[in-house]
Structure 1
């Protein structure tokens, strides 16, 4: 009964509400911001590289723009980029990859909007910056009720169900590739995650900026090797993507029964799931970046979508199609497991036995970084609805680790359906906020452009400074009271 309910809710969300909502807000913001994907992406990439070379440093409780991007990419690049993408082309045909790229293109404008709003309406709590959709809904829309709803759904979607998806994929993949018992994989993963989470924001940021570039680079390099080994299949693979996007049956094979609607649905849904643009997750990391101006961090956020979808997701698609591993006739009840095996076969076609191990290692690191990133995002929402202290935060860490363990014991396909539902519900209040606050996003971008011309890029962080002023005022009052008592 519960499975049927989850399936029904997902149909409503992903076939209607979110497909139109997420793509719609992406198209709307792309036009309103004058196509920032073409004019802002590569200058931002150049600026970020310069920041890495110059080894930017920030105060405790903040992240450098690159650390914020790494934490965001850590969350974006997970099982969705391998298992989710493979599922999309298995269920929707090769053409699903085309719609995946379309979602990413418009998603860049969406994630820019999320990031600048998160920067503007962030707050300082316990000496650390916090921000995200709940904060710009609360401070921008002045709606505490909707902000609380988002926080609750985000905690469940990322801190519980999302963690279960990641651990489930790791346990199954490692157990299959290396013959290690699932319980051993679960214990090892839980210990590693616990050690990272114990270090707080500083350790999470350091872990992300170290692991993410290596992880993403290794996967892309491995995929390129497979593609070059099957270069004669490259052009037919690209052709099948474009033909399959509008006429799935025309490419033959196992996708004859796939409709255009299915192709678009799976492509857009998995694309949005993998890059998370509009979902309301990644703004939490971009909010705490020490950027001179919100727009600068918005440009950096766009890089995350480019890496996640245009580089990593497309790598997964091409490995499956070019290697000949693609299988369009996997039963729907075994879709998640079948899609993973399909991709393992793609790497095994080039690397032999090591291919399955390589994919398993990549998947493990992808999942590990996503678990850490999603925990950080969920914790920001715990701080929004509860008066936080070490007891509450440690209790939440316990809940996350428990979800990690439970996730390895649940049916893979059902876990993915739960994730689709919980993250879909989480995205709804965020989409509403992005539309209603779009005027402010445009103002922030125009403000940045006017200041670039004058050479004085500076932004007054209203809510962050408000919290700091409150703290200073309390400090002055305490000093005054102490002086009075001494007299």
Structure 2
């Protein structure tokens, strides 16, 4: 076991200290420039459209999701233990400056996740009346690389269906057991029952669950965090200073007692930030692929909102709660702080609200983890369908594996579980990043089409598609290749 753990640490060092820091930031910067900084020009219109969609309360056809449901499912996966426990571990191991790099990764990640969403829309497929899509599909249909698509799918199934589930259940079991004095086994059984009931309902139940729970869950946590920040305004400015100073000179904080290098600060900030918002990792495109929208670019704008909510709002709330409220202590070495990082945020709520605060945070964490397990299961299932053609027996077997992973996760050391998920997420991201670079022209052309046709009011993507579909079978095949497999009915 010790040898395996050393192997995982070695792989993580290569992936996150060298390969992915440059690759993920690189694709984010590249797509930001190629798309002409959509973070500034597309986010507000996207938010307005999302609010309008929520007000309209549209229902999706069988086998599809509404844009709001797709976004909620994506956020359900993005908002999990990474936003609470993951952020705390980043601060503990990389110092307050890690928060700066988390925000930087989120800014450029908006362009990355826009690209993922529109490619997922373009290259999705219809299997037995249900839409399916994601990186495996745009790698296969766009890059024409079946082996790379298979590699992505295998790593996605392991990451989101098995290891990711372990991370979430591990955090929930520890938090709930500590806050409510409930045996870990009781928490595990309760969580397993709830997850099983939701998964049995298929895409419709998953979408409805995410659409209902995510806004309440995120809103309650942000509100609680704002109250803590208001109660600790005296430490607010100090916390902000420590974030910016620590981003470039972590040794200047705590008299150098932290023992943190700039490389560690950047590494943990980017790794945990990307684990939180998942931009470039290849997870959220699975839900954006099944959204029923008039134009693929519209779902790209929605995808950007997911990063904004998960990192700019929720992760930043966690950072400020820990640094301003006193649960993070800059006079304690990072190696010591890391040992208690899993309960750092919970301690902040307890310090300010007493035992009720600890219970509140535990409930928030439980819902965060539950929605992530559900969201990641849906994403993993898309890849099971890709690999095994969606046979019912195979899907039911996979559900059993996911529930078993949930139970096993509560029995494993928390630090090792995080190391495992860092490794598998990193491996999953590599083929997705390759595809994003190679298909970047497609992303730009889709955005140009949206600007020239939809915004001008001349013709919609849907109407344009219908005109082409009415022509010869040869041109119909061309339309399938150029505009995506899902528009054909």
* Fold shared per TM-score above 0.5: yes
Compute the displacement of 1:251 (Å).
Answer: 2.5
> Does the 8 A contact of 2:123 with 2:486 survive in 1?
no
Q: CA deviation at 1:389?
A: 2.0
Report the counterpart of residue 479 of structure 1 in structure 2: none
Identify the range of structure 1 (413-422 vs 386-395) with the bigger mean alpha-carbon deviation: 386-395
Measured on the aligned residues, the alpha-carbon RMSD in Å equals 1.6
Cα distance change, pair 186–22 in 1 and its aligned pair in 2 (3 A): same
**Pairwise CA distance, 1:341:** 2.1
1:259 maps onto 2:277 in alignment: no
Higher alpha-carbon deviation: 400-409 or 54-63: 54-63
Matched with 1:84 is 86
1:12 deviates by 0.2
**What are the equivalent positions in structure 2 for 1:318-357 lying under 5 Å apart?**
318-328=320-330, 329=332, 332=335, 335=338, 338-357=340-359
In 1, are the aligned partners of 2:92 and 2:334 still within 8 Å (CA)?
Answer: no
**Aligned residue in 1 for 2:392:** 390
Alignment partner, residue 462 of structure 1: 480
Larger mean Cα displacement after TM superposition, 62-71 or 351-360: 351-360
Contact 2:480 2:487 in 1 (8 A): no
Query: Could you tell me which residue of structure 1 aligns to residue 419 of structure 2?
Result: 417
Post-superposition shift, 1:239?
A: 1.1
Residue of structure 2 aligned with 1:150, choices 149, 152, 161: 152
2:407 matched to which residue of 1? 405
1:276 is aligned to: 278
Match in the other structure for 2:475: none
- Equivalent residue of 1:124, what SS? strand
Kindly tell me: are residues 384 and 121 of structure 1, through their superposed partners in 2, closer, same or farther at Cα, counting changes over 3 Å?
same
Does the Cα contact within 8 Å between 1:250 and 1:256 map onto a contact in 2? no
C-alpha contact 1:330 1:338 (8 A) present in aligned 2 = no
Q: 1:439 aligns with which of 427, 438, 441?
A: 441
How much has 1:340 moved relative to structure 2? 2.4
Query: What pairs up with 1:153-172 in 2 under 5 angstroms?
Result: 153-172=155-174
TM-score, normalization by structure 2: 0.93
CA distance 1:311–1:449, shift in 2 (3 Å): same
Aligned to 1:485: none
Q: Cα deviations across residues 48-85 of structure 1 (Å, max 9, x unaligned)?
A: 10111011122111001010000000000000000110
Contact 1:10 1:417 in 2 (8 A): yes
Deviation at 1:391, TM superposition (A): 1.0
TM-score, structure 1 normalization: 0.94
**Distance between the aligned counterparts of 1:415 and 1:434, measured in 2?**
28
Deviates more, 1:215-224 or 1:455-464: 455-464
Match of 1:223 in 2: 225
Gap runs ≥5 in structure 2 = 466-478
Q: 1:314 aligned to 2:316?
A: yes
Structure-1 separation of matches of 2:89 and 2:377: 25
Alpha-carbon distance in structure 2 between the residues aligned to 1:264 and 1:466: 40
2-structure distance, mates of 1:467, 1:235: 51
The corresponding residue for 2:212 is 210
Aligned partners of 2:124 and 2:485 also within 8 Å? no
User: Within 5 A, what are the aligned runs for 1:13-162?
Assistant: 13-162=15-164
**Which residue of the partner structure matches residue 484 of structure 1?**
none
Give 1:240 deviation, angstroms.
1.0
Distance 1:185 1:232, change over 3 A: same
Which stretch shifts more, 153-162 or 253-262? Answer: 253-262
CA deviations over 1:223-278 (Å, ceiling 9, x no partner)? 00000001111111111111111111222257542111111111111101100000
User: What secondary structure, in the 3-state scheme, does the structure 2 residue paired with 1:304 have?
Assistant: helix
Distance apart, 1:390 and its partner CA: 1.5
* Rounded Cα–Cα distance in structure 2 between residues aligned with 1:87 and 1:99: 14
Match of 2:198 in 1: 196
Distance in structure 2 (CA, Å) of the matches to 1:468 and 1:285: 16
Deviation at 1:126, TM superposition (A): 1.1
Distance 1:253 1:203, change over 3 A: farther
Alpha carbons 1:113, 1:438 under 8 Å: kept: yes
Aligned position for 1:475: none
* Residues 248 and 255, structure 1, Cα contact 8 Å, conserved in 2: no
Query: What is the aligned residue count?
Result: 469
Gaps of 5+ in 1: 473-487
Question: Aligned equivalents of 1:85 and 1:403: distance in 2?
Answer: 23
Q: CA deviation at 1:417?
A: 0.2
Q: Secondary structure at the match of 2:292?
A: coil
- SS state at 1:252 partner: helix
Contact 1:333 1:413 in 2 (8 A): no
- Is residue 12–residue 422 contact of structure 2 (8 Å, CA) maintained in 1? yes
- Are the equivalent residues in 1 in contact too, given 2:258–2:333 (CA < 8 A)? no
